[in-house]
């Protein structure tokens, strides 16, 4: 039964009020959250691993630094001697059929040494000027490294700064290392799945880290004592690749 009652001087129906209150309550009530999609559930059930691969190869190029260290109490004479000697060293290397584009100046330095009394350590008012000049030589035939060193020293070089070995085109080794890294990642994921008592599913994501290209550490060679070029062993270099792989867990 509908009933009327007086509200603020007006007669309204109780049923109308009840309908309005129920509608407002329904609008304000929290709505149920939508169910997660199948894709979201599957994406949470993954095994993520890191795989590594490495391929070895013999270096086919070397980078050698040759130069002079000249000391004189006259700066002009020190500069002139260094320049003349480096020209002779450069000509001797070019005579070995080393390309001019494979020779590059890497260091030129002039510094002053204060001559001190050996007993007191106090300055004696004399200066000794040092001129250092180094050039880097690319040697495409690693078996000729000793020949290049001796030719430079015979021409007047008294400093061998460093020696690096590298592989000029590591693409083939990189591809092999990459394939090994992916295989390593899958093997690791399979081991984890077996240990967890689940079945490994499809590969769903794969990313590669920055490949580590082959380059030896610096080999310091001190030739100041003479005696000719030392025997050189280039050994082997490694190309390394790492990948991060995610596999689904089969439902």
Instruction: Write out pLDDT tens, residues 163-187.
Output: 889 998 999 999 999 999 999 999 9
Looking at the fold, whether 199 and 225 belong to one and the same domain comes out as yes
What pTM value is reported for the model?
A: 0.65
Give 120's pLDDT tier (boundaries 50, 70, 90).
Answer: confident
CB 219 within 8 A of CB 63: no
Looking at the fold, whether 157 and 187 belong to one and the same domain comes out as no
Residue 70 domain flag: yes
Q: Which of 139, 166, 193 is the last residue of a domain?
A: 166
Give 230's pLDDT tier (boundaries 50, 70, 90).
Answer: low
The values of phi and psi at residue 52, to 5°, are -130, 150
- Could you write out the three-class secondary structure of 130-172? EEEEEEEEEECCHHHHHHHHHHHHHCCCCEEEEEEEECCCCHH
Instruction: Write out pLDDT tens, residues 48-75.
Output: 999 999 999 989 999 999 999 999 999 9
Looking at the fold, whether 65 and 154 belong to one and the same domain comes out as yes
CATH number at residue 152: 3.30.70.2970
Residue 18 domain flag: no
Most confident range (mean pLDDT) of 11-15, 24-28, 203-207 is: 203-207
Collapsing DSSP to helix, strand or coil, 111 comes out as strand
**Bridge partners, 37 (sequence order):** none
């Amino acid at each position: 039964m509908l009933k009327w009652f007086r509200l603020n001087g007006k007669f309204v129906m109780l049923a109308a009020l009840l309908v309005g209150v129920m509608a407002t309550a329904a609008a304000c009530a929290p709505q149920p959250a939508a169910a997660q999609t199948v894709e979201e559930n599957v994406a949470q059930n993954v095994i993520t691993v890191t795989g590594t691969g490495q391929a070895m190869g013999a270096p086919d190029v070397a980078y050698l630094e040759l130069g002079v260290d000249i000391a004189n109490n006259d700066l002009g004479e020190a500069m002139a001697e260094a320049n003349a000697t480096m020209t002779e060293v450069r000509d001797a290397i070019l005579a070995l059929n080393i390309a001019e584009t494979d020779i590059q100046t890497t260091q030129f330095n002039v510094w002053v040494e204060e001559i001190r009394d050996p007993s007191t350590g106090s300055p004696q008012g004399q200066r000794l000027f040092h001129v250092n000049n180094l050039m880097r030589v690319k040697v495409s035939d690693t078996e000729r490294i000793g020949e290049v060193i001796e030719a430079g020293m015979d021409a007047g070089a008294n400093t061998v700064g460093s020696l690096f070995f590298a592989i000029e085109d590591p693409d083939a080794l990189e591809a092999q290392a990459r394939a090994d890294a992916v295989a390593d990642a899958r093997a690791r994921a399979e081991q984890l799945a077996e240990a967890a008592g689940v079945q490994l599913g499809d590969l769903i994501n794969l990313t590669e880290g920055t490949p580590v290209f082959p380059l030896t550490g610096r080999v310091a060679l001190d030739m100041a004592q003479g005696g000719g070029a030392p025997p050189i062993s280039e050994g082997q270099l490694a190309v390394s690749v790492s990948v991060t792989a995610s596999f689904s867990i089969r439902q």
